[in-house]
């Protein structure tokens, strides 16, 4: 069973296939390949995005190169789920919420 590598320094960077192929075998590598497929499924070019931030294991903050289009993906029980972040907290003290697509995450993401 693959495990998280946990080294953000090697994980963060462009979502180019050649770069991802060179990553060590780990859950992050598997997840990043799945994220590139999710982008393709929504008619985005994965190579126009990069992993901007990897704050904790299983949470991926991606941005489109030379754009202000951010989205977030979180691993939950083995599934990769798009999320968006708001500036204000809700009644439960949360500001990160699941959504149905990367496109929706981009549209609802607040800086």
Q: Determine the Cα–Cα distance for residues 105 and 11; give it in Å rounded to an integer.
A: 21
**How many structural domains compose the chain?**
1
Q: Is residue 52 part of a domain?
A: yes
Q: Calculate what percentage of the chain has a pLDDT beyond 90.
A: 91
Average pLDDT across the chain, whole number: 94
Higher-confidence residue: 23 or 1?
Answer: 23
Domain, as residue range, for 72? 8-108
The two tokens of residue 75 are 């691993």
Position 110 scores a pLDDT of 85
Cβ atoms 93, 69 nearer than 8 A: no
pLDDT band at 89 (very low <50, low <70, confident <90, very high): very high
In a domain, 90, yes or no: yes
Residue 69 domain flag: yes
Residue 2 belongs to a domain: no
- Give pLDDT tens digits for 29-46: 999 999 999 999 999 999
Contact of 84 with 109, CB cutoff 8 Å:
yes
The pair of three-digit structure tokens given for residue 109, joined into one six-digit string: 């993401």
Say if 42 falls within a structural domain. Answer: yes
pLDDT of residue 38: 98
């Amino acid at each position: 069973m693959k495990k998280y590598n946990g080294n953000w320094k090697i994980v963060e960077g462009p979502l180019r296939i050649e770069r991802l192929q060179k990553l060590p075998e780990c859950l992050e590598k598997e997840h990043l390949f799945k994220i590139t497929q999710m982008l393709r499924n929504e008619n985005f070019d994965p190579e126009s995005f990069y992993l901007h931030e990897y704050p904790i294991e299983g949470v991926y903050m991606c941005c489109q190169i030379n754009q202000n289009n951010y989205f977030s993906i979180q691993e939950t029980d083995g599934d990769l789920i798009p999320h968006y972040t708001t500036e204000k907290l809700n009644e439960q003290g949360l500001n990160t919420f699941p959504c149905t697509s990367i496109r929706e995450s981009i549209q609802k993401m607040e800086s």
